[in-house]
Amino acid sequence: MSDCKPCSTPLEPKCTSADFANSDLFEGPFRELIGSLLYLAVTTRPDILFSVNCLSQLQEKPTVAAWTGLKRILRYLKGTKIFKLVYKKLHNPNFNIDLYADADWASDTIDRKSVSGYVLMFCNCPILWCCKKQNCISLSSTEAEIIALSKSLQDLLYYKNVVNEISRINSISIYEDNQSAIKSVANENVCGRLKHLDVKLKFIRETLINHCIRVKYVCTEYQIADLFTKSLSKCKLYKLLCFCSVWMRD
| 180 inside domain | yes
* Same structural domain, 171 and 224: yes
* Residue-range definition of the domain harbouring residue 76: 17-81
Specify the pLDDT at position 179: 93
| 204 inside domain | yes
* Same structural domain, 53 and 148: no
- pLDDT tens for 177-204 read 999 999 989 886 666 666 678 889 889 9
Low-confidence ranges of the chain (pLDDT < 50): none
* Same structural domain, 105 and 67: no
In this structure, the number of other CB atoms found within 10 A of the CB of residue 209 comes to 9
- Cα–Cα distance, 93 to 29 (Å, whole number): 48
* Same structural domain, 153 and 35: no
Q: Provide the 8-state DSSP code for 188.
A: S
- Cα–Cα distance, 104 to 148 (Å, whole number): 10
Specify the pLDDT at position 190: 61
Q: What is the number of domains present in the chain?
A: 2
* Same structural domain, 208 and 159: yes
pTM > 0.85? yes
Pick from 28, 58, 81: which residue ends a domain?
81
Pick from 54, 81, 108: which residue ends a domain?
81
* Same structural domain, 60 and 146: no
| 227 inside domain | yes
* Same structural domain, 74 and 124: no
| 9 inside domain | no
CB 48 within 8 A of CB 39: no
* Same structural domain, 107 and 170: yes
* Same structural domain, 150 and 188: yes
* Same structural domain, 189 and 126: yes
Pick from 81, 105, 120: which residue ends a domain?
81
| 90 inside domain | no
Q: What helix, strand, coil percent values describe the chain, rounded to 5? A: 45, 20, 35
* Same structural domain, 109 and 169: yes
Specify the pLDDT at position 248: 76
Q: Any idea what the CATH number is for the domain that residue 237 is in?
A: 3.30.420.10
Q: Which helix (H) or strand (E) holds 217?
A: strand 213-217
> In sequence order, what are the residues at sequence separation of 6 or more whose Cβ sits closer than 8 angstroms to the Cβ of residue 245?
85, 86, 87, 121, 124, 125, 126
| 117 inside domain | yes
User: CA separation (Å) from 162 to 43, 87, 168, 241?
Assistant: 19, 18, 11, 26
| 123 inside domain | yes
Specify the pLDDT at position 250: 60
* Same structural domain, 24 and 127: no
Q: Where are the beta strands (DSSP E) in 40-185?
A: 83-85, 95-104, 115-122, 125-133, 169-176
| 147 inside domain | yes
Pick from 121, 122, 123, 103: nearest CA to 113: 103
